[in-house]
Each structure stands twice: as structure tokens, then as C-alpha cells.
């Protein structure tokens, strides 16, 4: 029996969560270091998964399969393709930085009595989310995936509602100094409940579709169902396939989030601490877009093509709407949240463009958006914690008193607007090229998102970092060593993957070919190449 590397990769952060939660209340610092250790151990295992994965090999590798609930055909089945490998790596890379960035976010407040162990609970919940996200990327049994797809909502609910941002989006001095007044606590509770209800609604609809899939296919194995469909031994009625597709897609669109199911995200990111906001949009939400590729296209290829026109329209609305609303935001964290809605629109656009460039770009976009959003949001979190306010108007002239903070904030912003030379540019370019190839009008409209991204990013930088130095920020300290250790590696990755994306595309492209084969699509032949060949033939004839 081979070593169960995938199981261990998911189990290590889960064990870390249990041990971190068990640390005595007086040993808060020990709990932090323990959580950091287990996140680094998971990163080592994720690197090992990437090293052992062979891009030119079988579609699903490092597979594990064990009987679980025999009467219902449920198995403990794990396996990774290239898309899952890079997303597991993204998750493992971000977690140590999330933990370091949130090092003091759960420290007890001096004016509050602590009736439980919040510091240990905070870091334990983060590790538990990591474990559930990793196994969601690994699961090839639909029922197994569903369990963890839903279970991750529980720790996220407590992270949003129980460990909210101590800064304020209002000018309340009491909230800014004391951390959380009754109104702030109510806002956090509202954001957490809204997050939970939206995602639970999507999950319940998906559960009905999961049961329907079992009735039709007789099992939950993704590999067996896709193989049976390819061989023609499993024939779903057209209406049945479309209904099942809609059940799955609805849940994934909520998680993604896609317009008009997006409204929970600005509330959740606004009220959560900056590290938890990164956990939401850079890690957890990627499960939704990943599942569109793995389950929607893999299980329901014909229904995916049937729904493509409507989904492309929803993606376009997400791109333009998210960017427009971001332009008008006064709250830094809500601006980043709406920008993320626009970016998720690009990811969905690339997936359903049904071209290899579009789907490769969408996968890279998941990775690069995670890195760029983490860099921007974490630096924004450092900025907000210094001022005690999330309002853009409360800042000004920061670059004169904290140049390193301002510089890293600028690089994170430039990555968000997909500046050439930084990683997000490559993914956004591929998505647009893949979309233009099949849907040129859709591609043209989508480019407006790029223009608006430049607007909201540069205006944000101008209003917070340039101009006269406001009295409240005059004594603002620059980034400390711990904060530099958080941001510097993310910036290095953004530059490195922007200059040399081949390290990811070599892993992703073979998996994308399999997905394109599932939906029986080939890339449109470029007309320009044909015209060029005709010109060469004419010149040769002369």
C-alpha cells in the first residue's frame, strides 16, 4: 500500500487545529507558534504533492480509494489533477502568512473579560478551514466533497462573527479605541449569519442534486461517472442533466461568488479581520470556481454548454458591476471585496468560454488572484490597524511617514489591476484571449473591467498614500519585521510568476485538455493564421 500523501496533507492541519485548541489559556503565544508550525508542515506536504505529480501522467494521481458507506455507494476517494495541485499549493502557501498577519488579532482586549480561550480558538479555526479546503480539492467522490464543502462554513462562521475587525468603518472613537461596541458586534453577527445562510441555501440545493445524481448514476464516484459517460453506458435525460447541473452550479455560484448571489461577500470581508478576509476570498471562495471545472463540466458536459450563454452574461455583470461599485466605495475592505467580485467574474468567464486558453487562464487567475488579494488586503489590514478606521477619507500622505508600507500597498494594488510583469496579468490575458476566440463581443465588454480596475486601484492609492499628511497618521509607524515577512514573499511570488508563469502552466494545461475533452470542445481555429498561410502561398507562386 502506497503512502497516503493526500490524506496526510489534509490531516496535518486538522491535527494542528485540535492541538492548538487544547493549549492552556495562559499559553497564547505557544498556541500561535504551534499553529504556524502546522501550517508550515502542511506547506512542505503540499510541495511534496506538487513534486510527485507528473503533468504528463494519468489525469488523477496519488489516488486513494476506500469503502466508506457501502449501502449508498459512498467511498473515501481522493485524487489530484493539475488544477487541484496548484490550488492546494496556493492554500498551503497563504496559510503561514495569514497566521503571521493575524498574530495579534485574537489577543484579549484590556477592557474585556475573556470567558473562553479566543486566541487558541482563532488559530485552531484557521487550521480547520485549511484542512477542509485541502480535502475539498482532493475529493473525487461527490458525496465526500459535499460534506467538506458544507462543513467549512462552520469555522468560517465563527471566524467572521466571533473574531471581527476591531477597526471601524464609522468615526466612532469608542469603537476605534475599544475594539467593538454593541453596534460593531451586531454588524459582525449580521455578516456571519448572512454568510452562513447564503451558503447553506446553496448547499441544500446542491444536496438535492447530489441525491439526484446518485439515483441516475448509482454511485458518487466522479471518475466512474465521467468514464461511463465517455463510454456511452450512462445516458442522462436532457432535462434531468440540466436540473442536476443547476443544483450544483447554484451552490458553486454562491461560494464563488457570482452576481447576483454575491451580496454576502462585502459584509463578510468588511467585518472580518484582514487575515480572515484573505481566507474567505483567496482560499475558501476558490472551492466554488474549482468545483465548476471539476464537477459541473465533468459531470454535466451537455448541460454546461446549454447554460453557457446565461453564465457568460452573469460573469460580465459581475465584472462590470463589481468594478463600478468598487470605484464608489469609501471603506477600504469593502472596495477590495467588490474588486474580488469583478475578478471572480473573469474566472467564471474563462471557465465557460470553453477554450483551453480561457480555462488555463481561469485556473491561473484563481492562483494569482489569491496572491494579489492577499498582498493588498494584508497590507491594508496593517494600515487599518494603525489608524483604527477603514474609511479611505481618514487617511492621506501615508507614503511620507511609512514609505515601505505605501510601496508594498502600491505593488499589491498594481497586481490587482493586472499590471504587465505581475502574475495576474498573465491569467487575465489568457482569459480574454480565450474568450475573444469564441465570443468576441463578450471579450470586448469584459475589457471594461480592466479600465475600471485601474481607476479604483489608483484612486485608492492616491487618497490614502499621497497628498498632505493628515494629523492622525503623522506618527504612523512603518512595517515591522513580522509584517515585512508576511508581505515580501507574496510580492516575490507575484513578480516571479508574472515573469515565468510556465512553472504553473506546465501543470495546469494537461488537466485543462481533459476538461475540454469532457465537454467535447476544441479551440476555434484562428482565422489570422489561415490568412497568413494564404499570403505565403501567393508569394511563393509569384
Question: Residue-wise pLDDT tens for the chain (542 aa)?
Answer: 588 999 999 999 999 999 998 888 778 888 899 999 999 999 999 999 999 999 888 889 999 988 888 877 788 999 999 999 999 999 999 999 999 998 888 776 654 544 444 788 889 999 999 999 999 999 999 999 999 999 999 999 999 988 876 655 543 333 434 444 567 677 888 888 999 999 999 999 999 999 999 988 888 888 888 888 877 778 888 899 899 999 999 999 999 889 998 899 998 988 888 899 999 999 999 999 999 999 999 889 899 999 999 999 999 999 999 999 999 889 899 999 999 999 999 999 999 999 999 999 999 999 999 999 999 999 999 998 888 888 888 888 888 888 999 999 999 999 998 899 999 999 999 999 999 988 999 999 999 999 999 999 999 999 998 888 888 888 888 889 999 999 999 999 999 999 999 999 999 999 999 888 888 878 787 665 545 455 555 555 54
How far are the Cα atoms of 115, 215, 384, 467 from residue 464, in angstroms, in the given order? 38, 56, 11, 8
CA distance 208 to 504: 36
Which pLDDT score is estimated for 29? 86
Alpha helices in 232-355 (DSSP H): 238-255, 264-271, 274-278, 286-291, 297-299, 301-327, 332-352
CA atoms within 13 A on the CB side of 468: 4
Paired strand residues for 389: 168
The CA distance from 36 to 96, in Å, is 6
DSSP letter for 395, please.
-
Residues whose CB falls within 8 Å of the CB of residue 519, separated by 6 or more in sequence, listed in order: 297, 301, 304, 305, 354
Identify whether the C-beta of residue 357 lies closer than 8 Å to the C-beta of residue 437.
yes
- pLDDT at position 70 is 81
pTM: 0.88
Q: How many residues are listed for the chain in this entry? A: 542
Q: Write down the residue that cell numbers 452562513 correspond to.
A: 196
Assigned C-alpha cell, 342: 469583478
Distance CA 98, CA 42 (A): 14
State the Cα torsion 457-458-460-461 to the nearest 10°: 120
pLDDT at position 28 is: 85
Give the integer Cα–Cα distance in Å for 542 and 536: 10
Burial, 144: exposed, middle or buried (Cβ in 10 Å; 0-12, 13-18, 19+)?
buried
pLDDT at 177: 40
Report pLDDT for 540: 53
Say whether 76 sits in a helix, a strand or coil.
strand
Q: Residue 117: CA atoms inside 13 Å, Cβ hemisphere, count?
A: 18
Per-residue pLDDT at 520: 84
Nearest CA-CA partner of 267 in 348, 184, 346: 184
**Chain mean position to CA 251:** 15
Residue with the three cell numbers 458553486: 252
In the 8-state DSSP scheme, what is residue 525? P
Predicted pLDDT at 120: 86
**CA–CA separation, 299 vs 221, rounded Å?**
10
How many alpha carbons fall within 13 Å on the CB side of residue 142? Answer: 30
What does the block give as the cell for 190?
A: 449580521
* DSSP for 5-58, written as a single string: HHHHHHHHHHHHHHHHHTS-TT-HHHHHHHHHHHHHHHHHHHHHHHHH--TTS-
Amino acid at each position: 500500500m502506497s503512502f497516503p500523501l493526500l490524506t496526510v496533507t489534509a490531516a496535518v492541519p486538522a491535527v494542528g487545529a485540535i492541538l492548538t485548541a487544547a493549549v492552556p489559556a495562559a499559553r497564547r503565544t505557544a498556541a500561535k507558534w504551534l499553529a504556524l508550525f502546522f501550517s508550515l508542515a502542511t506547506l512542505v506536504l503540499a510541495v511534496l504533492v506538487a513534486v510527485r505529480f507528473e503533468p504528463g501522467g494519468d489525469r488523477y494521481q496519488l489516488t486513494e480509494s476506500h469503502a466508506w458507506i457501502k449501502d449508498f455507494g459512498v467511498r473515501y476517494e481522493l485524487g489530484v489533477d493539475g488544477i487541484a495541485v496548484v490550488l492546494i499549493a496556493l492554500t498551503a502557501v497563504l496559510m503561514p502568512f495569514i497566521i503571521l498577519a493575524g498574530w495579534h488579532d485574537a489577543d484579549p482586549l484590556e477592557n474585556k473579560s475573556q470567558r473562553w480561550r479566543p486566541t487558541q480558538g482563532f488559530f485552531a479555526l484557521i487550521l480547520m478551514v485549511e484542512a477542509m479546503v485541502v480535502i475539498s480539492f482532493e475529493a473525487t467522490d461527490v458525496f465526500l466533497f459535499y460534506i467538506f464543502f458544507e462543513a467549512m462554513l462552520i469555522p468560517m462562521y465563527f471566524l467572521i462573527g466571533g473574531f471581527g475587525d476591531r477597526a471601524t468603518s464609522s468615526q466612532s472613537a469608542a469603537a476605534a479605541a475599544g475594539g467593538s461596541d454593541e453596534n460593531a458586534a451586531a454588524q459582525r453577527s449580521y455578516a456571519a449569519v448572512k454568510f452562513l445562510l447564503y451558503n447553506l441555501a446553496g448547499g441544500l440545493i446542491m444536496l438535492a442534486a447530489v441525491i439526484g445524481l446518485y439515483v441516475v448514476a448509482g454511485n458518487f464516484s466522479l471518475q466512474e461517472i465521467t468514464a461511463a459517460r465517455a463510454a456511452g453506458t450512462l445516458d442522462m435525460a436532457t432535462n434531468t442533466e440540466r436540473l442536476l447541473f443547476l443544483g450544483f452550479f447554484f451552490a458553486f455560484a454562491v461560494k464563488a461568488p457570482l452576481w447576483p448571489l454575491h451580496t454576502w461577500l462585502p459584509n463578510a470581508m468588511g467585518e472580518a479581520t484582514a487575515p480572515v478576509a484573505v481566507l474567505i476570498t483567496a482560499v475558501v471562495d476558490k472551492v466554488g470556481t474549482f468545483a465548476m471545472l471539476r464537477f459541473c463540466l465533468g459531470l454535466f458536459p451537455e448541460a454546461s454548454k446549454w447554460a453557457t450563454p446565461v453564465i457568460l452574461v452573469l460573469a460580465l455583470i459581475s465584472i462590470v458591476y463589481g468594478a463600478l461599485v468598487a470605484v464608489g466605495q469609501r471603506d477600504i475592505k469593502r472596495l477590495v471585496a467588490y474588486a474580488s467580485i469583478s475578478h471572480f467574474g473573469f474566472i467564471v468567464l474563462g471557465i465557460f468560454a470553453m477554450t483551453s486558453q480561457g480555462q488555463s487562464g481561469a485556473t491561473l487567475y484563481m492562483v494569482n488572484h489569491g496572491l494579489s488579494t492577499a498582498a493588498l488586503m494584508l497590507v491594508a489590514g496593517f494600515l487599518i490597524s494603525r489608524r483604527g478606521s477603514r474609511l479611505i477619507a481618514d487617511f492621506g500622505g501615508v507614503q511620507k511617514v511609512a514609505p515601505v508600507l505605501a510601496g508594498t500597498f502600491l505593488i499589491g494594488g498594481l497586481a490587482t489591476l493586472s499590471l504587465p510583469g505581475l502574475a495576474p496579468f498573465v491569467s487575465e490575458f489568457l482569459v480574454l484571449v480565450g474568450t475573444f476566440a469564441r465570443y468576441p463581443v463578450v471579450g470586448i465588454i469584459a475589457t471594461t473591467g480592466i479600465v475600471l480596475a485601474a481607476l479604483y486601484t489608483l484612486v485608492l492609492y492616491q487618497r490614502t498614500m499621497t497628498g498632505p499628511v493628515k494629523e492622525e497618521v503623522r506618527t504612523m509607524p512603518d512595517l515591522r519585521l513580522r509584517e515585512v515577512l508576511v508581505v515580501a514573499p507574496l510580492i516575490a511570488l507575484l513578480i516571479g510568476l508574472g515573469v515565468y508563469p510556465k512553472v504553473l502552466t506546465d501543470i495546469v494545461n494537461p488537466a485543462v485538455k481533459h476538461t475540454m475533452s469532457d465537454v467535447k470542445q476544441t479551440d476555434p481555429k484562428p482565422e489570422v493564421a489561415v490568412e497568413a498561410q494564404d499570403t505565403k502561398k501567393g508569394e511563393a507562386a509569384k
